[in-house]
Chain A
Amino acid sequence: MVTAAQERLTAVPTIEEFEKGSSLWVDAWHRLKRNKLAMISLFLFLGIVLFCVAGPWFSSYDGQQQDLMKGAQGPSGEHWFGTDTLGRDLMVRTMEGGRISLLVGLVATVVALLIGVVYGATAGYLGGKVDAVMMRIVDTLYALPFTIFVILLMVAFGRSLWLIFVAIGAVEWLSMARIVRAGVIGLKKQEFVEAAVSLGYSHTRIILRHLIPNVLGPVIVIATLTVPAVMLLEAFLSFLGLGVQPPNASWGVLINEGQQNMEIFPWLLIFPAFFFALTLFALNFLGDGLRDALDPKSAKD
């Protein structure tokens, strides 16, 4: 028996000859590919990211460079999106504002994801009193009014971009933690978790390798829907003057500037608002598509 096994082993020396099974992720990707709206949204979003990140490198203008002689000009061949009241090129401003908005959206979401997933999985897996204490902390934080929390942070630590990440991350991980905890509580009754314990795996290993990958589906969906929510929060803070400070711009700042002169220089509002809205739409449709793809059972309703 052993010799037969050995013979077969020598007959298959390279890993390339193995039949690679297709994972549930690959299946989900195939389902997502069939969802036209989600695919359009995905490419639209990638396009916007590319536009914002790479765009300023190809422009002859600098977002900070003022030209007071020009003042606010409408869109033209020279300045496609026009210029703002200080004569700065609006296209570059929109791209640079987009960089910051997207950065805030992505970084804060990643932070929320890391904290929320680890916290929620730990609470759900350990259960009992630990779980109760951990989730009451979440409830307490949930009850804090967000705006007041941010204003307090700003007063205490001054205004900086990093504080925005912290403030938004501190709020967004809460719902993530709740979702992951719920998922883990459902999973830990499954036999593969019992089997993992019976094979002598440690708690850390079980949480990180066996539980978290299994709740990643809903987590990805929530993450995709958190990015626009975070961007909206950042825009809201910037709109109130609590967020990104001039001369730096974010879409929130640009929209705020635009609405001040909306009747005289409408392009100052239209262009940043258009890109902002487009991004939010794309991400929301993508999130919807991902939910259908990752959870085919609930997709039918």
Chain B
Amino acid sequence: MALLDVRNLSTSFHLRSGIVRASQDISLTLEKGETLGIVGESGSGKSVTCYSIMRLIPEPPGRIESGQVLFDGEDLLKLSETQMRRIRGRRISMIFQDPMTSLNPYLRISTQLIEAIRVHDDMDEAAALKKSITALEEVGIPDASKRVLSYPHEFSGGMRQRVMIAMALVNDPDLLIADEPTTALDVTVQAQVLDIIKERQRRLGTAVILVTHDLGVVAGTCDKVQVMYAGQVVESGTTDQVFYDPRHAYTRSLQKAIPSLQAKNEALYTITGTPPDLSKPVTGCAFYPRCPFPKIRDRDGPAPELTALADGHCVRDCGYCDRSQPIETVLEQDIIAQDAS
């Protein structure tokens, strides 16, 4: 049995202006010790999916419409708030994007770590302090035993993010959800933070969901990848499948948009346009207006289904465009067509 088995999870926000379907029909499975990467641009429903798994969606206006979140065989969506509280921070933990505001500015680091331990564990203050110091050392805070009594504002952004990770990992959770943990950090610190997470995972078999827009990070850390667009999973599979054999037009465009190191003088590739407004129903393929490939047929057909190929690689194969050629050629044709007109 998988550690986490999410089935057809849909979350929407009921606003005065209408219903925003932030994530639709998400399914994913995660085994102990595995890492799943969720990629996609801003507003594609990555964070909403994670928040829904932990039931952190503010209700109202948010609402989990349907689906199941089976964690260790138990449906989290059916638990009471009190039962859920026992799972949060103890069995499932979360790391947030902005290290500058994710610690309480008025409490000492030690107080915050001790609180995180003692809420879930019957442990005396001194033992909890020792455990906190160990936790800080494990995430590479130098002189942890001296600095544990500091306040968050005395730490740099990278150190605060490490404290946050220490807090999330201090109760040895089975699942860690990292919501863009490295976005606000500079590149060297990014690598350190990812190493800390990977090291923990190797040692304790923690499963990790890593939300990011950095495809490089995904390639380096994840076992499986889900690509999300407009609240839907458009492609999922092992990292190798998605990277070496991308099927969906969006995945291929994303890959094309990774800045490569050699091309100095070329303009960087960007996906034109903006993601669709999720408060309006999407007909046909959500990516249609931005798709760089030649269109085969008009948009007003049925919405494409996520279908599995033989090797478990899933694609929401639209059939609206012709993806027989690499994007480069398509682009050149575009330019020629523009020059001609």
Contacts and interface: CB of A to CB of B under 8 A. Distances in A.
Interface of A: 1-2, 4-6, 8-9, 11-12, 17-25, 128, 190-192, 194-202, 205, 209-210, 213-214, 216
A12 B138 CA distance: 17
A164 to B, nearest CB: 34
Nearest to A206: B104
B88 A23 contact: no
Interface string B103-147: 111111100000110011000000000100110011000001111
A200 B117 CA distance: 11
Contacts of A214: 104-106
A128 B60 contact: yes
Contacts of B147: 19, 21
B37 interface: no
Chain B interface residue count: which class? Answer: 35 or more
B299 to A, nearest CB: 38
B93 A191 contact: no
Given A23-B108, A213-B107, A195 B102 contact: yes
A111 B102 CA distance: 32
A200 B120 contact: yes
A183 to B, nearest CB: 13
Interface in B157-191: 164, 167-168
B146 A18 contact: yes
A202 B54 CA distance: 15
Given A1-B138, A199-B89, A199-B116, A194 B56 contact: yes
B288 interface: no
B308 to A, nearest CB: 32
Interface of B: 54, 56, 60, 85-90, 93-94, 96-98, 101-109, 115-116, 119-120, 130, 133-134, 137-138, 144-151, 153-154, 164, 167-168
Contact of B101 (A20, A191, A201): A191
A195 B145 contact: no
B137 A198 contact: no
Q: Which 6 A-B pairs have the closest CB atoms?
A: A21-B150, A199-B89, A200-B89, A200-B88, A191-B102, A198-B94
Contacts of A202: 85
A191 B163 CA distance: 14
Contact of A12 (B105, B145, B164): B145
B108 A18 contact: no
B154 A21 contact: yes
A125 B108 CA distance: 23
A199 B168 CA distance: 7
A195 B106 contact: no
Nearest to A213: B106
Contact of B134 (A9, A18, A209): A9
Contacts of B150: 19, 21
A198 B89 CA distance: 6
A192 B145 contact: no
